[in-house]
Amino acid sequence: MRASSFIRISLLCSSLLAASLASAQTPPAAPTQNPGTNSQSKSVPPAAGAPIPSPVSRHYPILIIAHGSEPNWSLRLGMKGPERLDRAGYPPIVLDPDEIVPDVPGVSWVYHAKDDVTGADLAVELSRESCSDVTGDTKYTFKVELQHTQIGTLDGCGQSAPEKFPEFRKKNQLDPDDNADVKDKDKSKDKDKDKDKDKDKKSVLDPITNFQPPTAVAYLDASGKVIFSRSAVRRTVAPEGTELAVSHDGKKLLFTRSDSTTGPERTIVLYDWDTGRLRDLATTSVRSAFWAPDDSRVAFLKNDGTIWQVWTLPVSAPETAAQFSPQPVDALHGWTSPTTILASDLQNAYWLSDDKPMQTVALKDIYGDAFQVMSSDTLRPNPINADLLLVSAYYLKTPAGAPVDSVGLNSTFFLYEVLSKRRTTLGPADSYQRAAEWSRDGLQIFCTRGVPGKVPLATWRVFWDGSNPGRFNSGSFFVIGK
């Protein structure tokens, strides 16, 4: 063997020995993920004392609060995308985030989502450009255009605001036990997937804390007596009555008294809290009285022997009652403004006014395919937003397992937006609820819960976003004045 060959072999052996020693002293590299699989690598918490790495999300930008005016609205764009849309005068809309599409890399993005209640599509285009609110001089980082297939297009501005996303901080706290027994945790997550989804929806809603408890109310007790209550002082007004209505100042009560067991003869009765006296306000085939917003007038239904029509009277001079509209109707639902009254027949809802043309909306548009129209249904306009209706109605097809009345029907209540035609069912399917009414602040809904003749009736309350339902009062057909 030549000397040069021997030297080359010796050098090679030395190199292999050095590499072997180095590998024995160096920890093995972390295994790389097989690019052919869809599984994602598990994150491992850092060692004690090591800095926590900043979270990275492919949904960029995130933690944005967007808002606009005319109309007023705001949007939360969270860790996964759009999560809640708020509009002035309406309950918040929970959103289910979907895919995110970069429009111009680094400049604009389109965030997709679905309306959690209606399934309507929503798209938010976010552009990184200076934006100014028309109501002020503040400069924002992003320009925002939101498109909801029912509500329409909303334009505004956005700004990064991580401090307004407390769940962001919570989700990024690394728990040392996160990787312990991963398989068992995955199984548990699969079992509770639906429960967690409901919890996530609730977590994006802010609790309602600025509501006003009612102080002047009326209802029927278990024996059917008319009860009028002001500041916890209760009075029994009459042994029986229906269609209660408390004035906005909380001092007067209207109700309908039946004068015949076989005919339509009825009387509208006024009770005055200050004097404690009852007096007949309108007689002979009248019913369903409602106070005007300023309590100066009362609207009611009057039968001329053939049809029902809307009449009004001044409280100070009830003898001057006059027809408000010639339109034949079956039900009266209240005032939507100082000059407009909402009524209906079995086909349409009518906005009757003394200063503008009548507006008509088909009840099939309001009720949709899930509910049937009946003359006993109630449509109540929200006190702060006349476009938002609270409708009590019967299902066309009773939900599985739901309680039913003597004729096999189940009743609930839902919200309906006249302009957007958006419908939100609020009453749970496992109960029977009727006669839903708004509180004066427009944030609370009171309804009669229980099956007539089967389950005792009581008043329940829920907030307009569907949160915190609970029993409120032992009476039924609860109404609020103040």
Contact 240, 255 (CB under 8 A): no
pLDDT at position 54 over 50: no
Confidence of residue 47 (pLDDT cuts 50, 70, 90): low
Determine the residue type at 112: H
Contact 442, 384 (CB under 8 A): yes
Range with lowest mean pLDDT among 131-145, 186-200, 319-333: 186-200
Prior bond to 71 cis, omega within 30? yes
Closest CA to 301 of 332, 346, 264: 332
- What pLDDT does 444 receive? 98
Rounded Cα distance between 273 and 67, Å, is 46
Q: Which domains does the chain have, with CATH numbers?
A: 64-172 (no CATH), 216-480 (2.120.10.30)
- What pLDDT does 204 receive? 86
- What pLDDT does 297 receive? 97
Q: Which residues contact 376 (CB under 8 A, 6 or more apart)?
A: 331
Radius of gyration of the chain measured on its C-alpha atoms = 32
Percent over 70 (pLDDT), the chain: 80
Percent over 90 (pLDDT), the chain: 70
- What pLDDT does 453 receive? 83
What pLDDT, in 10s, does the model give residues 412-443?
999 999 999 999 999 888 899 999 999 999 99
The whole-model pTM stands at 0.81
- Burial of 108: CB neighbours in 10 Å, binned 0-12, 13-18, 19+: middle
- What pLDDT does 35 receive? 36
- What pLDDT does 105 receive? 83
What pLDDT, in 10s, does the model give residues 185-244?
444 545 455 455 555 566 788 899 999 999 999 999 999 999 999 998 999 999 999 999
What pLDDT, in 10s, does the model give residues 438-481?
999 999 999 999 998 888 999 999 999 999 999 999 999 999 99
DSSP characters for 301-333?
EEE-SS-EEEEEEETT-GGG-EES----BSEEE
CA 77 → CA 59, 119, 302, distances in Å?
10, 18, 52
Helices (H), 330-412: 363-367
Helices (H), 231-322: none
- What pLDDT does 426 receive? 94
Confidence of residue 60 (pLDDT cuts 50, 70, 90): confident
Cα-Cα-Cα-Cα dihedral of 9, 11, 13, 15, to 10°?
-150
pLDDT at position 409 over 80: yes
Confidence of residue 346 (pLDDT cuts 50, 70, 90): very high
